[in-house]
Amino acid sequence: MLYAERVSGQSMRCLLVNFGGPRSLDEIEPFLRELLTDPDVIKSRLSGPIYRWFFGRLAAKRARKIAPDYELIGGKSPIFFDTETIAKTLGALTFHRYLPATHSMALEAIEEAAAKGPLVVLPMFPQFSYATTGSIARFFWDKLSARSVEQLHWIRSYPDHPLFINAYAHQIRLFLQSHSIAETDVALLCSAHGIPINFVRQGDPYVTECKRSFNALMRQFPGAVGHLSFQSKFGPEEWTQPYTDEACERSHEWRQNRPVVAIVPLSFTSDHIETLFEIEQLYLPLLQKEGSKAVRCPCLNLAPQWLDALAQLAYEPSVSNASLL
């Protein structure tokens, strides 16, 4: 029996935190407005009301542009629903950073839980960035009472923790087997969400932690070829490279004649617009033009091994070598 099943229904002093995602087409704009007006995500010389006005207008414009993309994946993002399902299974609380309609109820629940004792905060981001886990920490600092903040015990990251790596490796193996792909025939393109290169220069450890995840995962597949890239660039500034689209366009330079390229969404634990649309619709065709059989490995989503890993990380942080905030 899985660990997650053994503890289901128990009082789990844990808070799962995630990005959130639009639950309907109507929620795309408020989601983007909350995201693009977060100074931990979008750094700008603008400030105050001008910053919020400018990026609020940008969010409205972008919402109209990407609404058709969401329609192609069912009119919503699975992230919210996956996170809520995991939390229900494990008996945990949740917080969705960029779904403002959920904030009031979530903050109230966190205050009530924190009044009863410590809470383990478990990010659904294996690799730490100030634009993800750091943003949520700042939000709690600003919105929660000082007493509640003191009760939050953060698992900062777990980029190469065996629980995470083994769960993802199991997911990849199942996927390759289901498609009758031999390990020696595949090149694994591990695509992580990018961040502006200025974040890295200012000390954000995200890229270093992505490399740790990549190296640990590739050790599980000694017969495969691996390559790390970064996707979802936004705006005119330079982001972390190599870019995934360029890696796809030049796959002949690194895939070592492997007939199959499988894109592995390395920093994503739940499928959403970046995997269901961006990888499926934009990157796989580029690989196919290069002459590869191109496939996308699903994220961890609701895989039992992933739920088991999360339960162990949350219940027994003392046995974890995950970094603490």
Which tens digits make up the pLDDT trace of 133-155? 999 999 999 999 999 999 999 99
- pLDDT on residue 166: 97
- pLDDT on residue 315: 75
Three-class SS of 266-297 = CCCCCCCHHHHHHHHHHHHHHHHHCCCEEEEC
In whole angstroms, what is the distance from residue 191 CA to residue 280 CA? 13
pLDDT-flagged residues of the chain (< 70)? 1-12, 316-325
Other C-beta atoms closer than 10 Å to the C-beta of 117 total 8
Tell me: the pLDDT tens digits for 245-280?
999 999 999 999 999 999 999 999 999 999 999 999
β-bridge partners, 162? none
In whole angstroms, what is the distance from residue 43 CA to residue 22 CA? 23
* Helix (H), strand (E) counts: the chain: 13, 9
The DSSP element (H or E) to which 154 belongs, if any, is strand 152-157
Q: Global pTM?
A: 0.92
- pLDDT on residue 108: 98
Spell 288-307 as b/e; 16+ CB within 10 A means b. eebebbbbbbbbbbebebbb
> CA dist 155 to 52, 150, 161, 277, Å?
31, 14, 12, 30
